[in-house]
Amino acid sequence: MARVAAQVIVLNGGSSSGKTAIARCLQAILPDPWLTLGTDMLVEAMPAAMQESASGIEFAGDGGISVGPQFRAVEAAWIAGIAAMARAGARIIVDEVFLGQAASQQRWVTALGDLPVLWVGVRCDGAEAARREQARGDRVTGMARSQADLVHQGVTYDLEVDTTSAPAQECARAIAGRAA
């Protein structure tokens, strides 16, 4: 497997798949400082009015998520801002959930342009992700199971890791081994 002199590492996986834990481990083992920015931060930064509206983002009782035009506009600015930070020299780990599958990845590909990116799929069995979701208690029940496979459909990766039984540290070491 080829190594990538990454400026950006994109971790894509469903809710409760272990992306954030892997990102924290990567920050500890990679040389140079790496910033972690994720979709949860974007949602938390949005005004409350956008967090439960059809034009913003809505979380259904069954774990489904729908986004509207205001969300897409803010998301586009968020992605462009992260790309600008990387172009300015920051090394960035993106903690993402590609709800739009290949279209979500394409938004990032377009924004990141010629920056060196390591694309990583973070997989976790739906039942295990649901167990973690329940234990966390801070997610809408059903989100983890519904996203476990959905977010990977049509997405292309340089590397995939599976956190169903592998700890975050082990997955991070595998990723770090590919990020030159």
Q: Would you please indicate which residues are annotated as catalytic (active-site) residues?
A: 40
Q: Are strands 8-12 and 91-96 parallel, antiparallel or unpaired?
A: parallel
CA distance 115 to 112: 6
Cα–Cα dist 143/61, whole Å = 9
Q: What is the largest CA-CA distance in the chain?
A: 46
d(CA 53, CA 3): 42
